A and B are shown apart, each in its own frame.
Chain A
Amino acid sequence: AAGVIQSPRHLIKEKRETATLKCYPIPRHDTVYWYQQGPGQDPQFLISFYEKMQSDKGSIPDRFSAQQFSDYHSELNMSSLELGDSALYFCASSLGDRGPYGYTFGSGTRLTVV
């Protein structure tokens, strides 16, 4: 079965650079969520989109922005990168009306800021 695809899997950036993370949801899933997981931490919700509109916002820095496109894929744009942005970034997708049971995570993008 198709899963949530994230790219790239690994990314190394220098401080103050920008990064773009991509997420391709499971086909027909209309909702995308982004989470950040620091080393040894639990995943923290950043932002979500439903039918291409932002549906909820968590602890996402102002330096980050995201959007969901017409094909439902989503991109997380991160600017002025800081060392503390080094983390695993997960995307998850679901069908809006299936709730948490239909929530599937991708394998994540490991971002390292040096």
Chain B
Amino acid sequence: GQQLNQSPQSMFIQEGEDVSMNCTSSSIFNTWLWYKQEPGEGPVLLIALYKAGELTSNGRLTAQFGITRKDSFLNISASIPSDVGIYFCAAPNSGGSNYKLTFGKGTLLTVNP
């Protein structure tokens, strides 16, 4: 099946620092998604990317859809304590009107105030 290789597994940073994480796959995708999950809650969509080479921002978050369509990265600038959580990349397995998502293993982000 399709696998998403996400790195790093975890990051410990100081407040104010920038963060970068990425996902790669041997498969080509038409969509890349980035989610954040906080303890005891469901994943929340941060950014959706639909076009190879696309660079999209959402506040302090910036994500890019790789030109090869096999990778994506997420950057968080000027981190703050509420950025703490697990960040997942995800991609849908099929087109049409129904989509099941494959997730990366997640990046656990800890921000020290």
The chain A residues found within 8 Å of chain B, CB to CB, are 4, 31, 33, 35, 41-45, 48, 50, 55-56, 58, 90, 92, 94, 96-97, 99-101, 103-108, 110
Compute the total of residue contacts between A and B using a CB distance below 8 Å: 64
Given known contacts A99-B92, A100-B33, A100-B48, what 8 new A-B pairs fall within 8 Å (CB)? A42-B103, A50-B97, A56-B94, A90-B42, A94-B99, A96-B98, A97-B97, A103-B101
Who on chain A is nearest to B4 by CB? A42
Docked Cα-Cα span, A41 to B106, in Å, equals 8
Docked Cα-Cα span, A97 to B94, in Å, equals 13
Chain B count of residues within 8 A CB distance of the other chain: 24
Task: Given A105-B42, A107-B40, verify A55-B105 contact (CB < 8 Å).
Answer: no
B60, CB-defined interface residue at 8 Å:
no
The chain B residues found within 8 Å of chain A, CB to CB, are 31, 33, 40-45, 48, 88, 90, 92-94, 97-106
Q: Say whether B88 contacts A42, CB under 8 Å.
A: yes
Docked Cα-Cα span, A31 to B40, in Å, equals 23
Q: Say whether A48 contacts B98, CB under 8 Å.
A: yes
Cβ contacts under 8 Å, A35 to chain B: 101
The 6 closest A-B pairs by CB, nearest first: A105-B42, A42-B103, A96-B97, A45-B100, A55-B98, A101-B48
Docked Cα-Cα span, A35 to B92, in Å, equals 14
Give the one of A96, A105, A107 with max B CB within 10 A.
Answer: A105
